[in-house]
Amino acid sequence: MLQFLFNFVREKTVTRKMEINGKDHQKIQNFEDLDLSIQELIESAVQARKLAYCPYSNFAVGAALRTTSGEIIKGCNVENGAHTPSICAERTAIVKAVSEGHTNFEAIAVVAFQEDQFTSPCGVCRQVISEFASKDIKVYISKPVPVRILCTSLYELLPYRFDSSRLKQDS
């Protein structure tokens, strides 16, 4: 059944580039055309999404980080009845990674379901990802059945990020 869906959507989908200010920034690609390591990262996020605790919104999100050492660390969103203590999947994965000694990442995949659009990381998650990205990292955004993938980068999602270089040191 899954192969049927891949074939059906591939026939109906043309890989295209989105243009912002005349430059190619984000690209929608077919899952099967991606490198196997990227497919593995996205599939890990799909699996993480299945563990989401979201009884209030029923909006399950999964994320998977690839560390610079090549390990994949997964996270899911965890909601709370008071809402404010809820945590997004991306931050769950980052906190888990940091607690296991990983502080440098090369890519992240985020998986959620919205009918007509891709679900990108929220602003807080973008800033937290930026804290642990010593360079621009790839961001792959997918739906639970990974057929079409939005391929972008942290710097595209957060072009004016705040980082430690902006802090003034007192002399």
- List of E strands, the chain: 16-20, 23-30, 62-67, 72-76, 105-111, 138-142, 148-153
Q: Which of 90, 115, 131, 156 is catalytic?
A: 90
Structure tokens that stand for 20 in this block:
């912002």
Annotated binding-site ranges for Zn(2+): 88, 122, 125
Q: Please count the other Cβ atoms lying within 10 Å of the Cβ belonging to residue 113.
A: 14
Contact assessment for residue 74 and residue 100, using Cβ atoms and an 8 Å cutoff: no
Residue type, position 113, single letter: F
* 100 bridge partner residues: none
**Buried b / exposed e along 89-110 (16+ C-beta atoms within 10 A):** bbbbbbeebeeeebeebbbbbb
First-last CA distance in the chain: 65
The answer to whether 19 is a known catalytic residue is no
Annotated binding-site ranges: 88, 122, 125
Catalytic residues: 90
